[in-house]
Amino acid sequence: MSQFGCCVFQVTMKALYGQQNSPGEEMTFVLQERENLPACRDHDVKVQVRACALSWVDTKLLSEIKLKKELVPVGREISGVVLEVGSKVTFFQPDDEVVGILPLDSEESGVCEIILVHEHYLVHKPEKVCWAEAAGTVRDGLRAYTALHYLAQVSPGTSVLVLDGASPFGTIAIQLAQHRGAKVISTAHSLEDKQYLERLRPAGGVRQPLVARVIDVSHGKIDVAESCLEETGGLGVDIVLDAGVRLYSAEDEPASKSQLLPHKHDIITLLGVGGRWITTERNLQLDPPDSHSLFLKGATVSFLNDEIWNLSNVQQGKYLTILEDIMEKLSNSIFRPQLDEPIPLYEAKVSMEIVQKNQARKRQVIQF
Mean pLDDT of 357-368: 93
Check residue 11 and give its pLDDT. Answer: 52
Distances (CA, A) of 207 to 165, 181, 199, 268: 19, 16, 10, 33
Mean pLDDT of 180-205: 91
Confidence grade of residue 319 (pLDDT, cut at 50, 70, 90):
very high
Half-sphere exposure of 184 (CA within 13 A, CB side): 33
Distances (CA, A) of 267 to 181, 225, 252, 290, 301: 22, 7, 19, 10, 11
Q: pTM of the full predicted structure?
A: 0.91
Phi/psi-derived region of residue 247, left when phi > 0, alpha when psi is between -120 and 50, beta in every other case: alpha
Residue 4 has pLDDT above 50, yes or no: no
**H helices of 40-109, where?**
59-64
List of domains in the chain = 12-136+307-367 (3.90.180.10), 153-303 (3.90.180.10)
Residue 7 has pLDDT above 60, yes or no: no
**If you write DSSP's letter for every residue of 105-131 in order, what string do you get?**
T-S--SSSSEEEEEGGGEEEPPTTS-H
Q: Give tens-digit pLDDT for 86-132.
A: 999 999 999 999 999 999 888 899 999 999 999 999 999 999 999 99
How far, in Å, CA of 127 to CA of 331, rounded? 8
Q: Give tens-digit pLDDT for 20-66.
A: 777 667 889 999 888 777 888 899 999 999 999 999 998 888 878 77
Q: Are 123 and 111 in contact (CB under 8 A)?
A: no
DSSP SS3 for 352:
helix
CA 171, 173, 178, 183 torsion: positive or negative?
A: negative
Phi/psi-derived region of residue 296, left when phi > 0, alpha when psi is between -120 and 50, beta in every other case: alpha
Which region among 199-213, 241-255, 270-284, 326-340 has the lowest average model confidence (pLDDT)? 241-255
Report the DSSP pairing between strands 97-101 and 44-53: unpaired
Check residue 336 and give its pLDDT. Answer: 94
Which region among 32-41, 321-330, 345-354 has the lowest average model confidence (pLDDT)? 32-41
**If you write DSSP's letter for every residue of 278-295 in order, what string do you get?**
EE--TT----HHHHHHHH
How far, in Å, CA of 276 to CA of 272, rounded? 8
Selection from 80, 5, 77 nearest residue 355 by Cα? 77
Residue 368 has pLDDT above 80, yes or no: yes
**If you write DSSP's letter for every residue of 70-82 in order, what string do you get?**
SSEE---EEEEEE
Check residue 12 and give its pLDDT. Answer: 65
Q: Are 75 and 366 in contact (CB under 8 A)?
A: yes
Distances (CA, A) of 285 to 22, 123, 249, 282, 289: 27, 38, 13, 9, 11
Element (H, E) at 52: strand 44-53
Residue 17 has pLDDT above 70, yes or no: yes
How far, in Å, CA of 224 to CA of 211, rounded? 15
How far, in Å, CA of 357 to CA of 337, rounded? 21
Q: Give tens-digit pLDDT for 134-162.
A: 999 999 999 999 999 999 999 999 999 99
